[in-house]
Structure 1
């Protein structure tokens, strides 16, 4: 593949129960296409804090940035891209695209496709320097493949389930801010077998955002199971904004 994207940098933001390594197949393909790319670490502590962190990363990148978010990472870029001047577009990959005042918990409650609520397990984590604690959520490893990565090999899904990064429950309770999709062009990959975020709410959010939608027969992790499709959507977005 040849580079037809100019100097726009792709910033990949992972979601809950995952880390930046999940983007590896897409990163490999973007590098092969000559595209500048960064897969950043998402703290998973809450929308406002995580968006502030990602916005700081985007704002320090010279030139325009195409922000790509997976799952909860979609909510993060929705907020982060509103806080910087160099974001030129958004790509949602099996991702949340909340409107102002919405919480992810409210959105998930509307899904009939998601099985995630019954698979979550709470745990305590230190919330400060004293004895204060807060609650974070992870997926029961025994249910990880079914709910999150059903189209990955069992051995791969087992490793992901045992190395997942929990997310603070506050991230599902916080109200989202002014969405960047109101002012920026957006694209969306809707995984039709998504049992985590839920294909139904992912599709409805993408439609509301006016995103150019690509449907793919995949679980919640199409960037791992169908990386060619995800990469093609990102490249198409780059050709438009770049």
Structure 2
């Protein structure tokens, strides 16, 4: 067996991707979660996609820095040896924007309540571009890191209403307890490479998002010349949790687009 083939198969095995995925007719869907979430936030979407025959990888996004996280995601994509639909939620949108730039295997980008920054823009920049975000007052006391860094969390008591208002309260409380922190520096990182200028994009978001103003997401979708933009009435920031079928549908639209 050729060395490159063996390495690709080992990479897929480590990620739980079936060994036949590289030869399947459908692209692999790679899901990248955002800040204050984890890979389990995609569970409903994964179930639908796998039922429809798509190989799926839900990445554990490090949430440390845009360049570092993007490099990590790109290495996963490169190891799959398949065509890829790359999907990002929230801060994960900034990650996929940089990760996919210059790739040959990423055929579509899907932004789920996500940032789609241009060169020189950060998540913080885009959050403040339009009024409406109520995130800052809900953040807990940051955790101090070395070199004056900070890890950010949402206060658990405020998490359900801020982050997941349309998710059952019991589930939202579990999400609050298991949330993954993002570094403040990651949210301030300026994007250097912009994949949506060369790769077709799709957008879906809720009109009741309290983290990223819906007007900002709509503006980013228009700027990126989104091939399809879906606005889910009453949906919170975690539209993939509350409306997994709608999110899976737009991903499949991106996967089958010519």
TM bin, normalised by shorter chain, reads over 0.9
Give, in whole Å, the separation in 2 of the partners of 1:179 and 1:199.
21
1:219 aligned residue: 236
> Is 1:238 the equivalent of 2:255?
yes
CA distance in 2: counterparts of 1:120 and 1:204, whole angstroms = 26
For each residue in 1:161-199, what CA deviation from the matched residue of structure 2 results, as whole angstroms up to 9, or x when unmatched?
Answer: 111111000011111112100000000002111001221
* Unmatched segments (≥5 aa) in structure 2: 1-23
Shift of 1:9: 0.6
Say if 2:145 and 2:151, in contact at 8 Å, map to a contact too: no
1:159 is displaced (CA, Å) by 1.0
Q: What 5-or-longer segments of structure 1 have no aligned partner?
A: none
Work out which of the residue numbers 152, 162, 179 in structure 2 matches 1:164. 179
**Superposed structure 1 runs of 4+ greater than 2 Å apart:** 121-127
Residue 94 of structure 1 is matched in structure 2 by: 113
Question: Equivalent residue for 2:85?
Answer: 66
**Corresponding residue to 2:188 among 152, 173, 191:** 173
Q: Which residue of 2 aligns with 1:110?
A: 129
Q: TM-score normalised to the size of structure 2?
A: 0.87
> 1:83: how far off?
4.5
Q: After superposition, where does 1:1-242 map in structure 2 within 5 Å?
A: 6-127=25-146, 132-211=147-226, 212-217=228-233, 218-241=235-258
Q: In structure 2, how many angstroms separate the alpha carbons of the residues matched to 1:32 and 1:99? A: 35
Q: Would you say the 8 A contact 1:136–1:167 is kept in 2?
A: yes
Aligned counterparts of 1:111 and 1:122: Cα–Cα separation in 2: 25
Deviation by residue 1:131-183 (Cα, 9 ceiling, x = unmatched): x4520111011111111100011111111111111100001111111210000
Which TM-score applies when normalising by structure 1? Answer: 0.93
Higher strand residue share: 1
Secondary structure of 2:151's aligned partner: strand
Cα separation, 2, equivalents of 1:104 and 1:93: 14
